[in-house]
Amino acid sequence: MNPVNQFIEIAPDSPTWTSIVPQDKADKRTIASIEYELLAAHPYCYTLDELQFAVNAMRNQISEDELQAQRRALWDAFFSKPHACMRASPLTKKYGWGVHYDEQGKIALYAVESNEYQRFVNDKKMQKYFAMRSKR
């Protein structure tokens, strides 16, 4: 089930108080960099499930043709196991990005230093959660 009308604040133990664009590793794309790429380019276009599936497809270099031909089977296989929500994303835990879910469950990123981030934090009607801590 995709969350709706929620805001995920950065983790209380986040190492940064300004947003950072995640970088790829030398040999492989990171989950954080792919999530950032998709959400920065297409705010409010992906639900959590759609984002996780797209990240998985990009990380595993599944071709567009294969996605078109086997989308349902790939989707079912991917979601046969549970996946963490955006509270566990590196974007919210260590890169300084808040995540807003709109009324349709679509996701957008907000830099911790932005006015929009503060507007969500101060909104008394908005459900708010912190990203998960990195340490116990």
Q: Which tens digit of pLDDT belongs to each residue from 66-106? A: 999 999 999 999 999 999 999 999 999 999 999 999 999 99
Reported pTM: 0.91
Q: Does the CA dihedral 38-42-45-48 come out positive or negative?
A: positive
**Could you give the residue ranges of the DSSP H alpha helices within the chain?**
31-41, 48-59, 64-78, 90-93, 115-122
pLDDT at 36 over 90: yes
Contacts of 80 (CB under 8 A, 6+ apart): none
Cβ–Cβ < 8 Å for 31, 97 = no
